[in-house]
Amino acid sequence: ANSPNTNYLITKGIINKVQAQQQPFFVYAHYQDQHTPFLPPTGHLQRFSDEFNMPAKELMKRYLHIHRSGPYNKYRPNMADSEWEVIRAVYDAMLSYTDQWVDHLVDYIQSNLDNTIIVITGDHGELLGEYDFLTHYYRAYEELCNVPLIVLGPTAITDYDGPIQHIDIVRTLLE
């Protein structure tokens, strides 16, 4: 299972690696904590558990019960709306935690490394009840294919609102 410490370790590892760089470099980071099972720290979970009028630990207990009650990556047509809401709240808490560490990394790079381009994207979306699925497999639904792409750096990249594929990122950066 994933540990919420993974985000910390990835961020600190990258910062340690780039501190020693004297030459141009490329770093790839893949944050895994927002993959199932979602295990956000209690502080992040509390922000989302308040809407359920329960402590964060109780919300996590409900999530783990739902998570264990059926297979992941499956069609779940019999889940109640309240169960989907619990899953979404825990997922949002996990994203909040991941955002914290990505923000920390971006702040470090922008404060300490000139002339650096940062690309942030997702590898896929997640179905959290849409079409009664709990998955990121099987079909090319919009919710799975439409992921953020953020480019930060000294070189302006023209806004573009058409479709972009991950395969286009390196070519675009090299141009």
Mean pLDDT confidence for 139-167: 80
Mean pLDDT confidence for 81-99: 94
Cα–Cα dist 109/18, whole Å: 9
Q: How confident is the model at residue 145 (pLDDT cuts 50, 70, 90)?
A: confident
How confident is the model over 24-62, as pLDDT tens digits?
Answer: 888 888 888 888 888 999 999 999 888 889 999 999 999
Residue 14 has pLDDT above 70, yes or no: yes
Q: Give the whole-number percent of the chain exceeding pLDDT 90.
A: 30
Residue 118 has pLDDT above 80, yes or no: yes
Question: Which one has a higher pLDDT value, 156 or 175?
Answer: 175
pLDDT for the residue 16: 92
Question: Which one has a higher pLDDT value, 52 or 173?
Answer: 52
